[in-house]
Structure 1
Amino acid sequence: MAELVASNLSVAAGGRTILAEASVTLRQGELVALLGPNGAGKTTLARAMLGVETQTGSSRLDGMAITSLSPIDRARMIAYLPQIRPLAWPATVRDVVALGRYAHGAAIGRLTGRDAEAVDGALSACDLQPLANRSTDTLSGGELARVHLARAFAAGTPLMIADEPVAALDPRHQFQTMSLLRRYVDDGSGALVILHDIALAARFADRLVWMKDGRILADGPVSETLTEARLEEVYGIHARIIESADGPAIIVRSPVAQDRP
């Protein structure tokens, strides 16, 4: 069973600590939501876990230091969906999704067998079949976000880290995306997802990891870590949590008053 274990990761830049002694585990069979305000260090933590951010501490994939693995070996084990997803040149939707098979040796434009099945399945899952032959430079931001998600699914990896995968999506596709990630995990994979929608995270995730000022403040099940006191501590808001059969709703009442000098 694939497992990514980050221990005491710290990252500094410009003389400032932006991640401090963060420890978190991602394993197959779990959907983990990483929560926190802007600037909390969430993206830095994700990149440090993947070994693409200079850091102290350790990140180990199945017991091996992740930096000791080749980029191809890492890509076969962990799909990464970054927050910023530039494309070097316009390509068809199908060809961009097919990039997810690159680590498996697939030849883009000449997919066969398992590679073709993986790409077709990802296109279908992300509701992209009608757009498969469209150029990516003709898509909306939300459509392009789904293309990149499909590319991550096409990789067929046991683990995935996705940085704000629902940020540019309308409510329907936000729900669809989280449902797809939930199915990906239920089918035996593991996902760490950075989110800003707390209610969406609480509905779909098995664990919530809460960050502020570069530190992890809490890591545990929704029932134990989602509290009104936690929302005040992490986000500086007075909020009410309303439980329902469809999951918790977060009602923000006001920001916490700041002390004035």
Structure 2
Amino acid sequence: MTDLVVENISVLARESVLVDDASFRLGCGEFVALLGPNGAGKTSLIRAGLGLQSASAGLSLLGGKPVDALSPTQRARQIAYLPQTRPLAWPNSVRDVVSLGRFSHGAPLGRLKGLDAEAVDRALQACGLLELAGRRTDTLSGGELARVHCARAFAAEAPLLIADEPIAALDPRQQFRILDLIRTYVDQGGGALVVLHDIQLAARYASRMVWMKDGRIEADGPPSETLTAERMRDIYGVAARVEGLNIHIDGTA
């Protein structure tokens, strides 16, 4: 089984501490929401955990092996990563962009055959993009483009997925659509860690909530245990009422 295990990771930037002694685990069958205010260290933690950013201390294991001992191809076969910024260098077709997800399998882009072509078709279908497969990406709406990036990640057929703010700037319908896609991926055996700012959506979808503040992980557990008015005040500085998994924010604390 492929797990991502991050142990006591710290990340420094000159004299600033971006991540301070943070640990978490991501396994298959889990939908983990990574939460915290802007500047909490969420992206730095993810990048350090994936070996994309240098850590000053700690260890990160992917499938039981140190992340920094894996080649980019080996890592990409085990974990698909959707960064916060997802620029497209040129307006390729939807199918071509989704096909990039097969690059780690050695597939020749533009000439996919067999299992690679089938994986791309499955990802397009799962994300409702078959009818848009021939469209240029610069003609798509924000919601459609978000689904294209999800399909690219799904095409890799990696057991784990990390998505950094995949629903940012999307309208509510598209937010639900993207999170439903990730939920289905998890229900089918994958494991996902998703950075979210909408606490209500995180509580609705996540099996675990990891809360960060000032570079540290303050709590890690199911929504029923970690989502409290006290935590909302401590993490975000807001006064909130929590009724079950429903949150009512009254203002600043």
TM-score band by shorter chain is over 0.9
Name 2:80's counterpart in structure 1.
Answer: 79
Deviation of 1:206 after TM superposition, in Å, equals 0.8
Deviation of 1:121 after TM superposition, in Å, equals 1.6
Q: 1 CA distance for matches of 2:247 and 2:95?
A: 38
Give deviations 1:62-100, integer Å, cap 9, x for gaps: 221100000000000000000001112221111000000
SS of 2:178's partner is helix
* Pairs within 5 Å for 1:1-261: 1-55=1-55, 56-243=57-244, 248-256=245-253
Q: 46-55 vs 170-179, which deviates more?
A: 170-179
Distance 1:187 1:104, change over 3 A: same
Give deviations 1:18-52, integer Å, cap 9, x for gaps: 11000000111111100001110111111111000
Deviation of 1:124 after TM superposition, in Å, equals 1.7
Q: 2 CA distance for matches of 1:172 and 1:118?
A: 26
In the alignment of these two chains, the number of paired residues is 252
Q: 2 CA distance for matches of 1:125 and 1:63?
A: 30
Q: Percent identity?
A: 62
SS of 2:174's partner is helix
| Runs of at least 5 residues in structure 1 that lack an aligned partner in the other structure | 257-261
Counterpart contact for 2:146–2:178, Cα < 8 Å = no
Give deviations 1:103-153, integer Å, cap 9, x for gaps: 111122222222112111211222222221111122223222221111001
Give deviations 1:181-201, integer Å, cap 9, x for gaps: 111112111111100111111
SS of 1:116's partner is helix
Q: 6-15 vs 116-125, which deviates more?
A: 116-125
Q: TM (normalized to structure 1)? A: 0.93
Q: 1 CA distance for matches of 2:142 and 2:120?
A: 21
Counterpart contact for 1:145–1:168, Cα < 8 Å = no
Structure 1 counterpart of 2:250, which letter? R
Q: TM (normalized to structure 2)? A: 0.96
Q: 129-138 vs 152-161, which deviates more?
A: 129-138
| Runs of at least 5 residues in structure 2 that lack an aligned partner in the other structure | none
Q: 2 CA distance for matches of 1:50 and 1:160?
A: 11
CA RMSD of aligned residues (A): 1.1
SS of 1:149's partner is helix
